[in-house]
Structure 1
Amino acid sequence: MFLPNEDFQPRDVSTSHLKFSETKQSKKITTTNAELVDSRIYGYHSVPKGSVTLKDLDPRVSVHFGIPSTASILAFDPIQRLLAIGTLDGRIKVIGGDNIEGLLLSSKPLPFKNLQFLENQGFLASVSNENELQVWDLERRCIASNLKWESNITAFSVIYGTHYMYVGDEYGFLSVLKYDAEEGKILQLPYHIPANLITGTDSFFHSCRDFIAQSSICCWCAPTTLVLIVYESGLIILWDVTEDRAVLVRGNTDLQLKNDKVVDSPNEVNYDQFTNTSDPEQEEKEISSLCWASSDGSILAVGYVDGDILLWNLLTSASSKDQRGQRASNNVKLQLSSVDRRLPVIVLHWSGNKFHTDRGGQLFVYGGDEIGSEEVLTILTLDWSSGIESLKCIGRVDLTLNGSFADMILVPNAGAIERSDTSSLFVLSNPGQLHFYDDSCLSALMSQPEKKYSIPAVQYPEVIPTVDPYITVAKLKLIQAEGSFSRAVSETILEAKHTVTAPCSNWPLTGGVPSQLSFAEDNAIKRVYIAGYQDGSVRIWDATFPVLSCTFVIGSEVEGIEVAGTNASVSALDFFSSTLSLAVGNEYGLVRLYRLIGNSDEMSFHLVTEGKREGLIL
């Protein structure tokens, strides 16, 4: 370490520039800008020296680390263990294990309103705000096929384990698509269901407000396949695609409030029961979200614009021969607040009990609370082991969010046999923050009597941290391609190289295949990326391949030795590969000089001031 003088005190004299002076041992490197930057990482075209044209200067980002700041929607493949994150500007980040990240770029910078994997197929389906359906090839990292839909798509669902997709539009039509992997095309099949066929009347759809809000697939029992069709105006239909008929129709006319109870305390039985009514003047309850609350399709949780949550018991009614004759009598309404004006229920997700998946579990709710209240994610623990009519709320937790809510998704634990064995949680918040809560964390939350929590979740393990800690200066350095010094730096960095481990043993993202470039026979280090941080630390990555790997993490302090100003923010740095020397300067004028020697049993430390030099063996 170098200090200006013996009486050095931290002061506002920032080190703004550091530069090693080349010696005779170093060889001058002459390159073009295109040669200095790896075309595989930054998208430059490889062209001979001196023949660069305007067409060749087309830089584009092909590799991106971390969560995009405009992230807005999540999707998860439970078999491949991959997470997809869609953004508001037409990008999709796909994340796997061992620092594997892929970036998919759409030709139009538009938000995605639907995003879903074709599970275990190597494809990802998306729907843009301009109603363009896209199927992405994950291996090739490009759009395999796209299809422009003429009307506004309001519902989209991939049939589990297949290449088939349901599409619902603003006119109430339900269409079936198929992605043909061999031809690389999205095909529209002749099977479609018009709204008047579903409802049995031509006059039902009297305005554009009556459109499909959500669609999902329920495989009731083989070979019968039912598709759930839900309209924004409150109509719920189970349609048998093999028999071309509705087996159940439910709507707002099936509801009439008997009493008012609010889910405010887990020590009370808080629900509303409804009885049958055929009053045609019944006020519409507009649907804003829904999810299955059982694995057999018996219970459906529906969120409404007015803040209510209804649990519909569909199993008994669906088995009835008369689809309109038997009205549901075991519906339950939940309210998160007793005030009149409440937020719409935007998101609903269900996690069933591991051993009794159809008799209770946890309902994750965003919305439904008082307008203007603190932004939280509510987790309700519900039990109806004695029947849905005797439903009990045995626990409630309001999880305080870090940033504004963007999306959430429940993921099954690795090795889970049943899809309903889902107990880990990803929460996406703005700007670009991804938080993970594993099952043990959620269990601890539900076991405490307090109602509101703000707990430290596991954040996404960024390859290059930029915020925590905060990055202040960085450089991409080229390593000399020839000579003994080049071999020395490669051996030193490869010796120290380590893989950034997952933050916890339950981290659910393990999929993906590492880049083949990482296994090249020529494992020489060609580039290093060096970053200095606000806490005084420095990190070094091997930047030879598109997937960077951490090699060194250097703290600002030396154990057992106190030097004033060592924790100050890094303001300048430089690296000289010929001598493996690293210089780091901070905002208080302190300069640290390191020589990288790989793994060693001992390290030497020299403190140099104007008047003395002290050497220590650490």
Structure 2
Amino acid sequence: MEYRRRPQFWRVISSNDSDGRIKVIGGEYVEALLVSPKHIPFKNLEFLQNQGFLVSVSNENEIQVWDLGQRQVASSIKWESNITAFKAIHGTSYMYLGDEHGMVYVLKYDADQRKLTNLPYYVPRNVIAEEAGISSPNHPSVVGVLPQPCSQGNRVLIAYVNGLIVIWDVSDDKVVLVRGNKDLQLQGETASGSPENKNLEVSDCVSESDKVEKEISSLCWASNDGSILAVGYVDGDIMFWAVPTATSKNNQQASKSHKNVVKLQLSSGEKRLPVIVLHWSENQSHSARGCKIFFYGGDQIGSKETLTILDLEWPSGIESLKCVSHVDITPNGSFADMVLFPTVGEMENGGSLLFVLTNPGQLLVYDDACLAAFNSQDEKKPCASSGQYVMPIPIVAPCMTVSKLSLVDRDGEFSKALSKIVSTAKLKAPHTPIRSSKKWPLTGGIPSRLPEAADYEVERVYMAGYQDGSVRMWDATYPALSLIFVLGAEIYGKVPGIDIAGASAPVSALEICSFTQSVAIGNECGMVCLFKLTGTSNEMSFNIVTETEKKVHTLHQADGPQCMALFSLFSSPVCLLQSTEFGNRLAVGFKCGRVAMLDVGTSSVLFITDSLSRSNCSVSSLAMISFTDTNTLINNSKESTSMSLNDGEKGLVFIMTRDAYLAVLDGRTGHMVSSQSIPQKKESSAISMYILGKSFLLWIRK
């Protein structure tokens, strides 16, 4: 997970999935899903600050530069060796790359030429090996590369897996500092500010485990000037190293000081979790000699999964380091990553926002007030000012089963009615999952204000049906979707005095008609429910229609969506719904291969066919056309049947089943007009059918 700050205080955050997708979330209407050509995970994500580019490193060591404006890969390089460390230099288009052989290279992205280049400059590992006293052929891999703050880009800290830490001067091409396991002459005092019942301690002696090689697993700077380095180890320890800065008067004297490292140990257990994530933020509540450390790991193996936050001070130098407070956060789900945001704008208070990413794909946020509340709680209870990022379109909770995107005539009455509802809904809808007065800092595709255009009209709507029987509708005129309706199964599932079994079954089909301003919902129990979306408060008839009878109930319904009729003809799941152009009739395709034609105005059944497929395959596609003279199209068919249509609306229903059986029916009587079995390849299925004009039929199979 990675973030960047932009001018105008926009925030952008990115995270990646295991199949090569990158989710980018930012300010209002800033939300994108980047899909890599290769569906493989990424191990590094880095923004090129304020330049509109994101750099990713895949598990196959391919470096990709994403153009966020174009939402595509602008340039890429396939690296030959395994990339073990990667860091973009803040405010530039340069990047450091460390590999498994101990080499550190420099890359540059040229935005004008849209080209990523490996520059000739590199950090020679033979020089590092000579200074560190190690064998060059067995040089350890690089695990971290950090440009040193306040060095104008002239210094870079390189960490190796075997515990070796080196500061390299880029301008002078020389080693400034070498530290490692041999320098673990720990100085300090036992922490006096730690809360009781915590095992955290600052060690003042070298343990037996410190005499062996300690492997580095994470690192970060712990001061603004780059004088303190925090390093996490595989054995669960955290070391704080005092290192010379670029402005130090006597770097040589500072590098020889033996009071240069202290150890933090979270647990006294013999086997502890590696410190795999390590971040810091400046502590505004204390003097300049202090910070907050955020890390995952270090606790005893088998202990409860927590993210730990330490408030540290070193009033008279690193040897006086002590812990002021200790907070453990139990994430909602399995921990994946974390990132810190400096608070800006309306939320500015000199602190930080903590974002925690957990599996499966949950994003949680904690502000300073929330973290302070944890200190005063005896038990780890949920914090009132923390929150979970709310997806504009829920997919998993509840589970989405079907969806549909529909066009709406912006000059029609339906668009005008929806526009009024959208305006009201946007004013009332919560735009943040945080249950306090503070705003969620990343709005992404969730709009936080109304469109400014005075003539704004709804042009597209997106509907989704769910496993719990509910249906949601969004305004999809712009990429940032706005919720309009939530149609719960309880609207038609709790008619007074009537128990409608199966009303809450998973939704399996949807259809919307702009002309009648209505929605049809089909479910897996074979039910079809008709809703009037723009009804007014009044008594109205609610019709329940079965294969054998029709019952009419009078209900008093409030303004908004109103249930007009419920059809329960048989128990086969509804596969497809298709209305005529003016919405007065609705064709229903069932999994058993049967088709029913419903009269919407009278809430009646015009006809029900037998199974059209010889093998009882489900209906895979439906299409209807209406015209004044159907004889023209009928006579053009080679297998046409002589027929006479009655006066009134004339039309044909085209039906295709999954075994590629095509049937054409009279839209009023259900009489067969034409039929044909289309030859198919073995193990293939017909999945879709389209009418092109009034003379051509297109079908698609898989």
- Aligned equivalent of 2:414: 489
Correspondences of 1:100-111 after superposition (within 5 Å): 100-111=30-41
For the 8 Å contact 1:607–1:615, the answer to whether it is kept is: no
Distance 2:160 2:517 in 1: 66
- Aligned equivalent of 1:164: 94
Offset at residue 397 of structure 1 (A): 2.1
The structure whose RCO (Cα within 8 Å, separation 6+) is larger is 1
Equivalent residues, number: 531
Deviations 1:116-138 (A, max 9, x none): 10011101111111222111111
Distance 1:371 1:236 in 2: 27
- Aligned equivalent of 1:349: 279
Structure number with the higher strand fraction is 2
- Aligned equivalent of 2:270: 340
- Aligned equivalent of 1:41: none
- Aligned equivalent of 1:441: 370
- Aligned equivalent of 1:184: 114
C-alpha distance 467-264 of structure 1, shift in aligned 2 (>3 A): farther
- Aligned equivalent of 2:554: 613
Matched, 1:250 2:179: yes
Distance 1:565 1:209 in 2: 75
- Aligned equivalent of 2:160: 231
For the 8 Å contact 1:472–1:569, the answer to whether it is kept is: no
For the 8 Å contact 2:156–2:169, the answer to whether it is kept is: yes
Offset at residue 398 of structure 1 (A): 1.8
Correspondences of 1:120-519 after superposition (within 5 Å): 120-201=50-131, 204-205=134-135, 210-221=140-151, 223=152, 225-256=154-185, 266-267=195-196, 270-273=200-203, 282-315=211-244, 320-322=250-252, 326-354=256-284, 356=286, 358-415=288-345, 421-450=350-379, 452-455=380-383, 457-468=386-397, 470-479=398-407, 487-497=412-422, 501-504=431-434, 505-509=438-442
Secondary structure of 2:150 counterpart: strand
Deviations 1:18-45 (A, max 9, x none): xxxxxxxxxxxxxxxxxxxxxxxxxxxx
Offset at residue 528 of structure 1 (A): 2.6
TM-score computed with the length of structure 1 as normaliser: 0.75
Offset at residue 478 of structure 1 (A): 3.3
Deviations 1:486-520 (A, max 9, x none): 71222222222255623343322257999xxx999
Deviations 1:370-401 (A, max 9, x none): 11112111122222234322222222222112
Offset at residue 238 of structure 1 (A): 1.6
- Look up the equivalent residue of 1:571 and give its one-letter code: V
C-alpha distance 564-399 of structure 1, shift in aligned 2 (>3 A): farther
Distance 1:82 1:432 in 2: 17
- Aligned equivalent of 1:76: 3
For the 8 Å contact 1:175–1:193, the answer to whether it is kept is: yes
C-alpha distance 395-341 of structure 1, shift in aligned 2 (>3 A): same
Percent of pairs with identical residues: 48
| Unpaired runs of at least 5, structure 1 | 1-73
TM-score computed with the length of structure 2 as normaliser: 0.67
For the 8 Å contact 1:114–1:126, the answer to whether it is kept is: yes
- Aligned equivalent of 2:507: 571
Distance 1:189 1:299 in 2: 30
- Aligned equivalent of 2:691: none
Distance 1:617 1:551 in 2: 16
Correspondences of 1:5-20 after superposition (within 5 Å): none
Offset at residue 603 of structure 1 (A): 6.1
Distance 2:272 2:498 in 1: 55
Offset at residue 225 of structure 1 (A): 2.7
Task: Between 94-103 and 127-136, report the one with greater CA deviation.
Answer: 94-103
- Look up the equivalent residue of 1:548 and give its one-letter code: L
Secondary structure of 1:220 counterpart: coil
Matched, 1:530 2:492: no
The structure whose Rg is larger is 2
Distance 1:413 1:552 in 2: 34
C-alpha distance 312-201 of structure 1, shift in aligned 2 (>3 A): closer
- Aligned equivalent of 2:44: 114
Distance 1:416 1:496 in 2: 30
Distance 1:329 1:353 in 2: 23
- Look up the equivalent residue of 1:529 and give its one-letter code: Y
Offset at residue 248 of structure 1 (A): 1.8
Deviations 1:521-562 (A, max 9, x none): 99765543222445554320134555433222345567x996
Secondary structure of 2:303 counterpart: coil
Matched, 1:549 2:479: no
C-alpha distance 328-421 of structure 1, shift in aligned 2 (>3 A): farther
Offset at residue 477 of structure 1 (A): 5.0
- Aligned equivalent of 2:534: 597
Distance 1:417 1:216 in 2: 29
Offset at residue 362 of structure 1 (A): 2.0
C-alpha distance 302-335 of structure 1, shift in aligned 2 (>3 A): same
For the 8 Å contact 2:186–2:204, the answer to whether it is kept is: yes
Deviations 1:119-159 (A, max 9, x none): 11101111111222111111011111112222221111111
Deviations 1:411-437 (A, max 9, x none): 11123999x955211111112222222
For the 8 Å contact 2:467–2:505, the answer to whether it is kept is: yes
- Look up the equivalent residue of 1:490 and give its one-letter code: S
Deviations 1:75-132 (A, max 9, x none): 1012241111122222211112335321222221221111110011101111111222
Distance 1:411 1:507 in 2: 12
C-alpha distance 312-617 of structure 1, shift in aligned 2 (>3 A): closer
- Look up the equivalent residue of 1:308 and give its one-letter code: D
| Unpaired runs of at least 5, structure 2 | 545-550, 560-702
Offset at residue 345 of structure 1 (A): 0.7
Secondary structure of 1:183 counterpart: coil
Q: CA RMSD in A?
A: 3.9
Matched, 1:582 2:511: no
For the 8 Å contact 2:186–2:261, the answer to whether it is kept is: no
- Look up the equivalent residue of 2:514 and give its one-letter code: S
Distance 2:542 2:139 in 1: 75
C-alpha distance 597-321 of structure 1, shift in aligned 2 (>3 A): closer
- Look up the equivalent residue of 1:467 and give its one-letter code: V
Offset at residue 587 of structure 1 (A): 8.0
Offset at residue 446 of structure 1 (A): 2.8
For the 8 Å contact 2:307–2:330, the answer to whether it is kept is: yes
For the 8 Å contact 2:28–2:446, the answer to whether it is kept is: no
C-alpha distance 557-243 of structure 1, shift in aligned 2 (>3 A): same
Secondary structure of 1:302 counterpart: strand
- Look up the equivalent residue of 2:172 and give its one-letter code: E
C-alpha distance 416-170 of structure 1, shift in aligned 2 (>3 A): farther
Offset at residue 319 of structure 1 (A): 5.0
